[in-house]
Amino acid sequence: MSRFVAMVALAILAMAACQPAPAPEKPVNQSDNNPMQLKLPVGIEAPPPIPGDNPMTPAKVELGRLLFFDPRVSVDGNVSCATCHNPVMGFTDGRATSMGVKAQTGGRSAPTVINLAYATNGVFWDGRAKSLEEQALGPIANPIEMGSTHQGTMARLNGIPGYKEQFKHVFGTDDIKIEDAAKAIAAFERTIISGNSSWDRFQKGDASALSDSARLGWELFQKKAECIGCHAGFNLTDNGYHNIGVGLDKPEPDLGRYVVTKAEEDRGRFKTPTLREIIYTGPYMHDGSEKTLEDVVEFYNKGGNKNPQLDEKIKPLNLTKEEKANLVAFLKSLNGEGWQAKMPTSFPPDVPSK
Ligand code: HEC
Ligand code: HEC
């Protein structure tokens, strides 16, 4: 919490400094759909898919970065995307469930934004948004999250000359539209990529990159514990939805994917999250019900929470104390680089009141 206060304070200070908006970069050809040259860290196998109608350019990414961190996007000027997706905490907020404008809390935990560039099968815990572009439109108008209306936010941004200039440069019009803001934010999010973890280097042949414990944990992850059945591939997710029973023991459980599809088999299914940077993103699960990685491993060891739609891959694992510790050591080897230090140092200033 104190970190969050410090961040908001920093943002306000930065605005108060009233620095001029950065000079526009060279004009961007919007018909050019070549993705910007992203530097991909070790272990990240391919550049992320970029939607045809939202080519990635340096100026657009920069604008998205500003919008992501700027609290003026919310109704009371206090909440930015980064309030709940704070880079210091692995782009999450360290809370079980998130707190937005006027200290209201929602029912779900803020997932990390890291490596969502590779989420090709929907975002949100229940997958209700098809793309990052669609997702970004949500929180601004969510009464609990940022409490603004799209019109309200657009009116505010349209009153900030530095933003008008940048939107004109990136989108060719200085009439700021919410869809363009969402495109810029999504383009920025696609640059938040984590790789080059100890595990990646181990996979590339550096046998000393993992401790013995983490290496044994990796074995367990693939075999005895079968975590890889869902946390598969270089991003440690199958981009699928599974019922592992989290929260289903509550009186009024969150039914997850079912709420979106109304398909019986989707009851209690949630999106498989990436496990990259997992040490930073606790508490864990969609409801923040598991405090530590040790707790998560205990949860899987007992076979999740029993319910009629429990995924068949979830069953008691009979791990020894040592095996549990090894699994945790493996999870702790998944932090890498490529996503840190993304906070802007200044924002386009408000017009000073006369
Ligand atoms: C008040 C806290 C809060 C704020 C502010 C907020 N978010 Fe979130 N965000 C959440 C929560 C909670 C979820 C999960 C909601 C769900 O799945 O139903 C989420 C989900 C997401 C996801 C999907 C993650 C995934 O793994 O599928 C993305 C992307 C995201 N937010 C980006 C943003 C952006 C961009 C903004 C600013 C425009 C923003 N968020 C503002 C709390 C917040
Ligand atoms: C049947 C698919 C499946 C298997 C097998 C599986 N997981 Fe998961 N995992 C999920 C899903 C789905 C979630 C999110 C569940 C929720 O929040 O309701 C999750 C969440 C997690 C989280 C929390 C992530 C976060 O950001 O909150 C961790 C850590 C984790 N799993 C580790 C493991 C480990 C370790 C194993 C093996 C013992 C494992 N998983 C096996 C599907 C699976």
Q: Cα of 67 to ligand 1 centre, how many Å? A: 14
Q: Is 96 in the pocket of ligand 1 (CB under 6 A)?
A: no
Share of the chain above pLDDT 70, in %: 85
Mean pLDDT, to the nearest integer, of 135-160?
Answer: 80
Q: Across the chain, which distance is largest between two alpha carbons, in Å? A: 70
The predicted pLDDT at position 37 comes to: 74
What ligand is nearest to the CA atom of residue 68?
A: 1
Q: 263-269 — which CB contacts under 8 Å span 24+ positions?
A: 264/309, 265/309, 266/241, 267/243, 267/308, 267/309, 268/243, 268/307, 268/309, 269/126, 269/241, 269/242, 269/243, 269/309
Q: Are 184 and 170 in contact (CB under 8 A)?
A: yes
Q: Is the pLDDT of residue 7 over 50?
A: no
The model's pLDDT over 112-139, given as tens digits with 9 standing for 90+, comes to 999 999 999 999 999 999 999 999 987 7
pLDDT value of position 94: 84
Whole-angstrom Cα distance, residue 10 to residue 7? Answer: 5
| 81 alpha carbon – ligand 1 mean position (Å) | 7
